[in-house]
Structure 1
Amino acid sequence: MRMIAVGDNVADCYLDQGLYYPGGNAVNVAVNCKRNGCEEVSYIGVFGNDKKSDHIMDSLDKEGISYRYSRRVYANSGSPGVKLVGNDRVFVRGAQDTAQHVLRLRLTPADLEYIAGHDVCHTSCYSSIERELPVIKEHCDISFDFSTRTDEDYLGQVCPHIKYAFFSGAELDSVQIEALIKTCHRLGTEIVGITKGSEGALFSRNGMLYKQGVTPAEVVDTMGAGDSFIAGFLVSYLKKGVMEEALQSGANSAAYTCTFYGGFGYPKPIGE
């Protein structure tokens, strides 16, 4: 199995610790796909030219993830601030002149040929790549993380081009969830997953519903748990095609990620 993540990379700065950790939805999913047994994982994104970007790339090297088709620009890395409230993370808005803000990723024919060699391409609402989805779809199935974005205009822009849709739905009630699932399917998305924090997850494959509980864990930090769930689910589902097994794999992966700080570890002092 081969997967590629296309999109964001950031340095999550834990203000209370004075440490930062490599992160970003696309990077987190890529790393956790590799940790969940995906044989080959790649990443395409836009790196800054600062020490934080060096550390993110070094972390990807250590995880065995290729990023050779990525770009590098003269700008700082995205560095959102993070404060822990209990075990939950709360983001503090960071600088708005970073690599993630000054340049939007546009895919070349060589990029698309490379993407075509993978079984699935994961991206998200954080990656500003919506305009590229129709052409990516011609080369590879797409997994997309909407986070909490559920407005119909955005769903209409994205859902016709993707196979897997993931949402963070802790604030949604049962009526809203049912309507969201129906809308995504009507627009062409085959699998829709909604994670609800401590309440587990609800998934639908073409209208067939599946519920998944939470795997118990000693929770230290919930950063990246949703990304890890996506990764665990994708790897298992692409290998076996069994929804129940894939959901359990996702829950197990998310639980493990909650046992350490950061999306996948690799802390470094903010000043370095």
Structure 2
Amino acid sequence: MKVAAIGFCCTDVYENLNRHYSTGNGIDCIVNLAKRGIKTSAVTTVGKDIFGQEMLDLCSKYGIDSSHIQINEGDTSVFYMTLKNGTDRYHIKNVPGVMENYSPTTEDIAFTKTHEYIHTDMFGHVLHLLPEFRQAGCKIILDFSLNKNFNELAPVLKNTDFGFFSFEEYNDNIEEFLKKAHSFGPQIVTATFGTDGSMSYDGKKFYKQGIYPAEVVNTVGAGDSFISGYIYGLIQGWDIPACLDCGARTSAEIVSKFDPY
């Protein structure tokens, strides 16, 4: 099985801490999958700067295929970050760089189609390609993050197999939200809600999972690592409770370190 992350990537920079790392929803996910021995690829763009080289170095370190990372004139996308309460991420500003005008080439698209699973999000400029990827037999993993607007979600959900949503905490409306999200077509929809755990819905039943205790260093990567654990379980043929458990364990491991993988 092979998993491609296509679309958004960036470098998170904490100027007040003099630290940074290569990241992105899909990048974090496939690094954590690569650590488990899954074959992965990154399909995105970086600039001809030190951050672009560091992204390529990250892929090399974990054996991720970077042959379809475009290296374009300009700077790699950067998110300037800080930590609230010492551990919780807070976005200060984004400088889009080469990501702003990213478009995968015909060769990038053909390469992505050779993967059984494709991970992307709402910001990577590739949502129009989802029907084409699914027609090629690929399973689509969509990280919807905090987006809850069904006017935007509906056309994407109908081309999604496994959808993931983030909530700050559990509330009584989440089950109805997942029912509605599932009605547009995904096989499974899943929500994470911080310290309250996570929940999946497959159209028939809700499955709930608690968290594993961890000493939190940085919450960045919690959701992406959860998805990686969950998808690893799917690849192994595990049932939904086992996938949720693997996601929760992986997330607990990642939040206990600064970098998101």
Compute the displacement of 1:33 (Å).
1.2
Decide whether the 8 Å contact of 1:47 with 1:70 is kept in 2. Answer: yes
User: Whole-Å Cα distance in 1 between the matches of residues 44 and 204 of structure 2?
Assistant: 34
User: Whole-Å Cα distance in 1 between the matches of residues 207 and 37 of structure 2?
Assistant: 23
Moved more, 2-11 or 224-233: 2-11
Q: Which runs of 5 or more structure 2 residues have no equivalent in the other structure? A: none
Decide whether the 8 Å contact of 2:14 with 2:80 is kept in 1. Answer: yes
Alignment of 1:1-272 (within 5 A): 1-38=1-38, 40-86=39-85, 87-96=87-96, 98-101=97-100, 103-108=101-106, 110-139=107-136, 140-170=138-168, 173-175=171-173, 177-264=174-261
Secondary structure (helix, strand or coil) at the match of 1:134 reads: helix
* Amino acid of the structure 2 residue aligned with 1:66: D
Moved more, 194-203 or 164-173: 164-173
Q: Which runs of 5 or more structure 1 residues have no equivalent in the other structure? A: 265-272
Deviations 1:163-219 (Å, cap 9, x if unpaired)?
0000111256322x2232122221101110100001010111123111011011111
Compute the displacement of 1:121 (Å).
0.4
Moved more, 223-232 or 11-20: 11-20
* Amino acid of the structure 2 residue aligned with 1:193: T
Secondary structure (helix, strand or coil) at the match of 1:114 reads: helix
What TM-score does the superposition give when structure 2 sets the normalisation length? 0.94
Decide whether the 8 Å contact of 1:36 with 1:253 is kept in 2. Answer: no
User: Whole-Å Cα distance in 1 between the matches of residues 134 and 8 of structure 2?
Assistant: 19
Deviations 1:35-75 (Å, cap 9, x if unpaired)?
2342x111100111111110111011001100102212111
The percentage of counterpart residues that share the same residue type is 27
* Cross-structure match for 1:267: none
Decide whether the 8 Å contact of 2:44 with 2:102 is kept in 1. Answer: no
Decide whether the 8 Å contact of 2:52 with 2:71 is kept in 1. Answer: no
User: Whole-Å Cα distance in 2 between the matches of residues 161 and 136 of structure 1?
Assistant: 9
Compute the displacement of 1:21 (Å).
0.7
User: Whole-Å Cα distance in 1 between the matches of residues 105 and 131 of structure 2?
Assistant: 12
User: Whole-Å Cα distance in 2 between the matches of residues 151 and 23 of structure 1?
Assistant: 25
Runs of 4+ residues over 4 Å off in structure 1: none
Decide whether the 8 Å contact of 1:130 with 1:157 is kept in 2. Answer: no
- Residue 41 and residue 120 in structure 1: after superposition, are their counterparts in 2 closer, same or farther (change >3 A)? same
What TM-score does the superposition give when structure 1 sets the normalisation length? 0.91
- Residue 171 and residue 213 in structure 1: after superposition, are their counterparts in 2 closer, same or farther (change >3 A)? closer
* Amino acid of the structure 1 residue aligned with 2:150: E
User: Whole-Å Cα distance in 2 between the matches of residues 22 and 249 of structure 1?
Assistant: 24
User: Whole-Å Cα distance in 2 between the matches of residues 207 and 100 of structure 1?
Assistant: 39
Decide whether the 8 Å contact of 2:169 with 2:195 is kept in 1. Answer: no
